[in-house]
Amino acid sequence: LFSPRMATGMQEKQYTPSLLNFFIYNPKFGPREGEEEKKILFYHPSDVEKNEKIRNVGLCEAIVQFTRTFCPSKPAKSLHTQKNRQFFFEPEENFWIVMVVRNPMVEKPNKEGKPPTIEYQEEEILDTVYGAVLQQCYSMYKLFNGTFARAMEAGGVELLTQKLEKFFYRYLQTLHLQSCDLLDVFGGISFFPLDKMTYLKIQSFVNRVEESLSLIKYTAFLYNDQLIWSGLEQDDMRILYKYLTTSLFPRHSEPELAGRDSPLRPEVAGNLLHYGRFLTGPSNLKDPEAKFRFPKIFVNTDDSYEELHLIVYKAMSAAVCFMISASEELGREFCEQLDGLVGPQLTLLASDICEQYNINRRVSGPDKEPQFKFIYFNHMNLAEKSTIHMRKTASVSLTSVHPDLMKILGDIHADFVRVDEDEEIIVKAMTDYWVVGKKSDQRELYVILNQKNANLIEVNEEVKRLCKFETMDPFLYTISTKLVDMLVTKTA
Amino acid sequence: MSEEHYLELCDSPVQFENASSVNNVFFDEANKQVFAVRSGGATGVVVKGPDDKNSIAFRYECALKSLCFALIKQNRPVFSFQNGGQGGSEISQVCGEKNATVLGFCWTSWNEIVFITDQGVEFYQVLPDKRSLKLLKSHSINVNWYVYCPETSVILLSTTVQGNVLQPFAFKCGTMSKMSKFEIELPVVTKPAKIILSERDIAVATIYGQLYVMYLKHHSRTGNNPGAEVVLYHLQREGACKRSHILKLNTTGKFALNVVDNLVIVHHQSSQTSFMFDIKMKDTDSNLNIHQPVLPARSIHPYKIALTGPAAVGSQTPVPCELCILFLTFLLGSGYLWYLQVKLKPVVSLLQDKSKLMEFLLRRRDCKMVILSVCSQMLSRGDKGSLPVVAIVFDKLNQVYKEYLEAEQSYTMAVECGPSRGSTAHKRPVRTQAVIDQSDMYTHVLSLFTERKDVSHKFIIAVLMEYIRSLNQFQITVQHYLYELVIKTLVQHNLLYMLHQFLQYHVLSDSKPLACLLLSLESTYPPAHQLSLDMLKRLSTANDEIVEVLLSKQQVLGALRFIRSVGGHDNISARKFLDAARQTKDQMLFYTIFRFFEQRNQRLRGSPNFTPGEHCEEHVAYFKQAFGEQAFIKPVTL
């Protein structure tokens, strides 16, 4: 469970935050004494002794009940203790998800014979970050399984526990709590910078495909793991985007990089060469044994509650998600039709986008290492941009700055959350860095400046010049400021 | 059934007395007038044209064998010229050698005439006052026959024994220029040399502004040739004449040629049908300019001749081809002279390929309404897979539209630069019916289309985006009303996230009206507020609006910060800000705003007090009441 992050000095050991427990319960399911176990729908790790499970659940229940008396509309969200921190989340009425995270700690060796002293760093982890991680867990579950309530309707507690078990068993293994940060709080979408004409071409492509394959209900278009078009509503897209970029795409890009299953082997369809292939469903259409099963996702769970097949199809760097009502049977014929129609067009489009993208890059000048790094997020369209984070891989997301700086960013954000008004916070970090947070009408910008001798006024002026919010969201090639310039040039 | 006929005769033909033993009928191609000459002119000459309201009638004393009528238009007397120059006419002219035979004459302008004899051509200027002709130029050449094209003043002379070497001459403003001669390839070469090429098989016409010699090439029945064809030779002012197009008739028999609206119409006598060719329509399967008929051959729409008199019953009399004497643009027969017209509506239903159809229509004269109705029809059906077709059609329309806009733009630029360089007078580009602009599309097609209830909104949006894409592709500025149509449709179907994405990628261009429209959407879609403000900021001409928006949201400090950032804070109304600050019921905010304006007053006028014109008395009183007398900035008194 413990993973040492770095060793300072000879024997001192640092441990990063880690997942201790993760459980889901519904207090209504076992109201009577002796039936407490019925409340527990899922418990991780599963090998915990039954009574301990019941005790832990009972404790959470009690805390939530108790704090409710102070503020009935906003029950407790987290509980801080010396060794760990618990996060509570009630995604659906009476269904509670609890995540217990062990605080990071430092193990200091003592003189011979004595056991080492453990120092818990209880202030190092942020409620906003892990609270968001917990919510994301639920959203991801819901995307692939629908709501708890629907599962209950369909198959009672039995079905629900089955689903939870199946999903979380694997999902929790992919949680990397040590690398969670501000970006998890935002859960934003990175949009691909694109000129109007190419964008319209993509529109046209999407419309044509939806018209000729009328089964398709929604389409989403991505390039370089960045979103260009979403037919889904924002909230559904947000979680689907998260799935695609942190799970599906990395899984498929690694074999690509390794040279296996190379996309550079064009498929011949008719007399047109194309590079299209399915990322979900059949991996090879030519294979007579190919399976035509696609993952199912649930969207618009608040109103129309739709269950859809998720077809992800990719040609070069362009990926398209086609979503089709789950009630439709999809077989070889449909997949071949889709492959034949989309493959050639998407291949062309992908090279068009690539060409346009390179032109824009050339226009905006060569990639030079800028004096600052930043994270930008707009709550209105969930647009997110970070020059702090390296390319995300399936396992971890790497940051290029010291964790202490990331912590400052998180703290500033927590301050912003507390008030509604626009705010600006400038912090001088220990390591001579300036950290500036700015919140303006639903937008947040965090800049890390590396100017040793700059004073507050200079930093303030610098940041002012960087912020031209109104031109930032489209982040197209109207490059009026240094920052926008970077927005365009910096990807991956 | 009537929808099958794509050719028809014009509504008001020129009616004249039928040719008979006492009545001679002449046709002047240059002026498009019919001359009915009774008893050689002694009992009267009636001149009628399709555009003339009244016919001209006059008498003529001597018998006429031939007539030239170029001057009728100018209401000048008729000149007549008789072979050998004997007798009776107003101006006489002897031309050619003694033994020369006059083949004919043509007027090349109102005062210039060309005589063609079997030995050459003579070009004269007419001097009406002196009643004489002045020889301008002549050229000796053996001539079998000639063909004259009045539109371009080009005469084609048939030379050599077989008659298949054609020598064109062009006439312009008193000059006669010899163009390069060319040879018509004959299907069979007969051993004993004799004239094979007949003038009946040759015509000269202007098609798409270019001069063509059309040769009707009959194929011998014995060969395994599929049928006759029309061979077009492109006649250029300079350079050699080249064989440019071949029109396949795929049948044999007697044919006649017409050129209508740049289309070559070939009438086939025995089947009484007509073929239509468009030389700009390319057949994809051959890169040679071999053309098949645009449409299957059809007969001309039967013409109803209304009989006058008590027993007037409309009788359907199909005009058979054989009765007609054919001229290039006219049909002449049984007492009537018709224009031939192409009906576009039947073409629409006969030509299935929409891309070809659009190209065809865009090249026609009266095409606008037909094109617009084709667009409407195409959208209303909403067939599966029709979007690519819609895209192609839009691209074709916008291509023509763009060309016109560019011509217009370079004309305006040229006019603005003045006539300093070059002597060529700038000609304003002609806006043909094929120029279908955004307002045409909006009024006749798109606005109606978006209101349709039977079409899915997905398709409506797809079509609108396709049109916007096409306009963008041709770099045409999209008009605001199109964006409004998109937004209206999106809002109607609650597709606000889609709208958001379009705005994000600037697909819908910034404008004040659009920003205001977005503001109005805020209550149903909160992000619209930010979108709208951003747009106003980008426009940079809407600072007042931004202040209003912020004040209305009680963001008084935000408004003040904004206006200060654009340097407009010296001109804003203090009262407006104080009003807004009071409304927030935030004492500190009010204090801050009040202090700001006191300082402004101090800076601008040297005194912190408000002037009566600012109407801030109420706020001054409130400030005093809330914070006390001593809170005011003390005026600096010396």
Q: How far apart are the first and last CA of chain A?
A: 31
SS3 of residue A140 by DSSP: helix
Contacts of A109 (CB under 8 A, 6+ apart): A10, A11, A12, A116
Whether residue B123 has pLDDT greater than 70? yes
CB B291 within 8 A of CB B247: yes
CB of B392 within 8 Å of a chain A CB? The answer is no
Between chains, do A211 and B469 touch, taking CB under 8 Å as contact?
A: no
Q: How far apart are the first and last CA of chain B?
A: 102
- For residue B545, list chain A residues with Cβ-Cβ distance below 8 A: none
Between chains, do B387 and A381 touch, taking CB under 8 Å as contact?
A: no
Q: What are phi and psi of B622, to 5 degrees?
A: -65, -40
How confident is residue B613, by pLDDT bands cut at 50, 70 and 90?
confident
Among chain B residues, the shortest Cα distance to A379 is held by B527
| Strand partners for B137 | B123
Among chain A residues, the shortest Cα distance to B508 is held by A196
How many pairs of residues across A and B have Cβ atoms under 8 Å apart? 86
- For residue A204, list chain B residues with Cβ-Cβ distance below 8 A: 387, 391, 465-466, 469
Between chains, do A207 and B462 touch, taking CB under 8 Å as contact?
A: yes
Neighbours of A475 (CB within 10 A): 24
**Residue in A126, A49, A113, A122 with CA at minimum distance from that of residue A87:** A126
Mean pLDDT for A128-135 is: 92
Residue B63: predicted pLDDT: 42
Kind of pairing between the strands at B290-291 and B242-248: parallel
Mutate to test the interface with A, among B459, B503, B505, B537 (most CBs of A within 10 A): B505
Using CB atoms, which residue from B465, B506, B538 is nearest to A204?
B465
SS3 of residue A350 by DSSP: helix
Using CB atoms, which residue from A208, A233, A383 is nearest to B388?
A208
- For residue A211, list chain B residues with Cβ-Cβ distance below 8 A: 384-387, 458-459, 462
Touching A: B residues 497-526, CB under 8 Å: 497-498, 500-501, 504-507, 526
**Residue in B171, B142, B172 with CA at minimum distance from that of residue B157:** B142
The C-alpha of A480 sits at a distance from chain B's nearest C-alpha, in angstroms, of 11
Residue A251: predicted pLDDT: 83
Packing angle between helix B368-381 and helix B387-417, nearest 10 degrees?
150
Contacts of B383 (CB under 8 A, 6+ apart): none
Q: HSE of B244 in the Cβ direction (CA atoms, 13 Å)? A: 17
Whether residue B19 has pLDDT greater than 80? no
Among chain B residues, the shortest Cα distance to A237 is held by B497
CB B364 within 8 A of CB B344: yes
Mutate to test the interface with B, among A302, A382, A473 (most CBs of B within 10 A): A473
Among chain A residues, the shortest Cα distance to B509 is held by A196
- For residue B490, list chain A residues with Cβ-Cβ distance below 8 A: none
**Using CA atoms, how far apart are residues A381 and A23, in angstroms rounded to an integer?**
32
Between chains, do B385 and A469 touch, taking CB under 8 Å as contact?
A: no
What is the torsional sign of CA B417, B421, B425, B429?
Answer: negative
CB B292 within 8 A of CB B305: no
Residue B625: predicted pLDDT: 87
Whether residue A265 has pLDDT greater than 60? no
- CA separation, residue A77 to residues A17, A65, A179, A200, B403 (Å): 18, 12, 21, 44, 65
CB A429 within 8 A of CB A411: no
CB of B609 within 8 Å of a chain A CB? The answer is no
Residue pLDDT, tens place only, A279-334: 998 888 888 888 888 999 999 998 889 999 999 999 988 999 999 999 998 888 99
The H or E element containing residue A444 is strand A443-449
Whether residue B87 has pLDDT greater than 80? no
Between chains, do A208 and B387 touch, taking CB under 8 Å as contact?
A: yes
CB of B527 within 8 Å of a chain A CB? The answer is yes
Residue pLDDT, tens place only, A371-430: 678 888 888 888 888 888 875 554 555 677 788 888 888 889 988 888 877 788 888 887
More confident residue, B240 or A264: B240
**Using CA atoms, how far apart are residues A252 and A267, in angstroms rounded to an integer?**
18
CB of B560 within 8 Å of a chain A CB? The answer is no
Q: Is A237 exposed, middle or buried (0-12, 13-18, 19+ CB in 10 A)?
A: buried
Whether residue B52 has pLDDT greater than 80? no
**Using CA atoms, how far apart are residues B403 and A76, in angstroms rounded to an integer?**
68
> What letter represents residue A276's amino acid?
G
Using CB atoms, which residue from B385, B501, B530 is nearest to A229?
B501
At A151, list the tokens.
């599962």
Between chains, do A381 and B500 touch, taking CB under 8 Å as contact?
A: yes
**Residue in B32, B29, B39, B31 with CA at minimum distance from that of residue B60:** B39
The C-alpha of A468 sits at a distance from chain B's nearest C-alpha, in angstroms, of 10
**Using CA atoms, how far apart are residues A48 and A67, in angstroms rounded to an integer?**
27
The C-alpha of B372 sits at a distance from chain A's nearest C-alpha, in angstroms, of 22
More confident residue, A490 or A221: A221
Between chains, do B459 and A211 touch, taking CB under 8 Å as contact?
A: yes
Residue pLDDT, tens place only, B400-409: 999 999 999 8
**Most confidently modeled range among A218-222, A431-435, B52-56, B506-510:** A218-222
**Using CA atoms, how far apart are residues B623 and B626, in angstroms rounded to an integer?**
5
Say how many residues make up chain A: 492
Using CB atoms, which residue from B386, B458, B527 is nearest to A380?
B527
Q: C-alpha angle with apex A235: A232 to A240, nearest 5 degrees?
A: 65
Spell out the SS3 assignment of A389-423.
Answer: ECCCCCCCCCECCCHHHHHHHHHHHHHHHHCCCCE
The H or E element containing residue A349 is helix A332-363
- For residue A471, list chain B residues with Cβ-Cβ distance below 8 A: 538
More confident residue, A483 or B212: B212
Mean of all residue pLDDT scores within chain B: 78
CB of B584 within 8 Å of a chain A CB? The answer is no
**Using CA atoms, how far apart are residues A159 and A140, in angstroms rounded to an integer?**
18
**Residue in A38, A2, A42 with CA at minimum distance from that of residue A20:** A2
Using CB atoms, which residue from A201, A210, A212 is nearest to B469?
A201
The C-alpha of B287 sits at a distance from chain A's nearest C-alpha, in angstroms, of 22
CB of A431 within 8 Å of a chain B CB? The answer is no
**Residue in B265, B272, B248 with CA at minimum distance from that of residue B330:** B265
Mean of all residue pLDDT scores within chain A: 82
SS3 of residue B555 by DSSP: coil
- CA separation, residue B408 to residues B346, B363, B364, B401, B437 (Å): 33, 19, 21, 11, 13
**Using CA atoms, how far apart are residues B324 and B339, in angstroms rounded to an integer?**
12
Among chain A residues, the shortest Cα distance to B505 is held by A474
Whether residue A490 has pLDDT greater than 50? no
Between chains, do A380 and B530 touch, taking CB under 8 Å as contact?
A: yes
CB of B496 within 8 Å of a chain A CB? The answer is no
**Using CA atoms, how far apart are residues B279 and B419, in angstroms rounded to an integer?**
38
Residue B57: predicted pLDDT: 65
**Residue in B297, B290, B254, B250 with CA at minimum distance from that of residue B275:** B297
Give one word for A382, left, alpha or beta, with left for phi > 0 and alpha for psi -120 to 50. left
How confident is residue B384, by pLDDT bands cut at 50, 70 and 90?
low
Residue pLDDT, tens place only, A42-77: 998 888 888 999 999 999 989 988 888 888 888 888
Whether residue A99 has pLDDT greater than 50? yes
- For residue B533, list chain A residues with Cβ-Cβ distance below 8 A: 441, 470
Between chains, do B504 and A204 touch, taking CB under 8 Å as contact?
A: no
Among chain B residues, the shortest Cα distance to A230 is held by B498
More confident residue, B24 or A184: A184
Among chain B residues, the shortest Cα distance to A202 is held by B469
Neighbours of A49 (CB within 10 A): 8
DSSP B319-333: --GGGPEE-SSEEEE
Among chain A residues, the shortest Cα distance to B476 is held by A197
Mean pLDDT for B270-293 is: 77
At A257, list the tokens.
């990089």
CB of A400 within 8 Å of a chain B CB? The answer is no
Using CB atoms, which residue from B386, B466, B538 is nearest to A204?
B466
Whether residue B1 has pLDDT greater than 50? no
Whether residue A222 has pLDDT greater than 90? yes
Residue A492: predicted pLDDT: 24
CB B204 within 8 A of CB B156: yes
At B459, list the tokens.
């398709």
Mutate to test the interface with B, among A189, A195, A201, A204 (most CBs of B within 10 A): A204
Buried b (16+ CB within 10 A) or exposed e, B484-505: bbbbebbbeeebbbbbbbbbbb
Question: Cα B33 to chain center, whole Å?
Answer: 27
CB of B335 within 8 Å of a chain A CB? The answer is no
Whether residue B476 has pLDDT greater than 90? yes
pLDDT above 90 covers what percent of chain B? 10
Between chains, do B530 and A441 touch, taking CB under 8 Å as contact?
A: yes
Residue pLDDT, tens place only, A135-185: 999 999 999 999 999 999 999 999 999 999 999 999 998 888 888 888 888
Residue B285: predicted pLDDT: 57
CB of A329 within 8 Å of a chain B CB? The answer is no
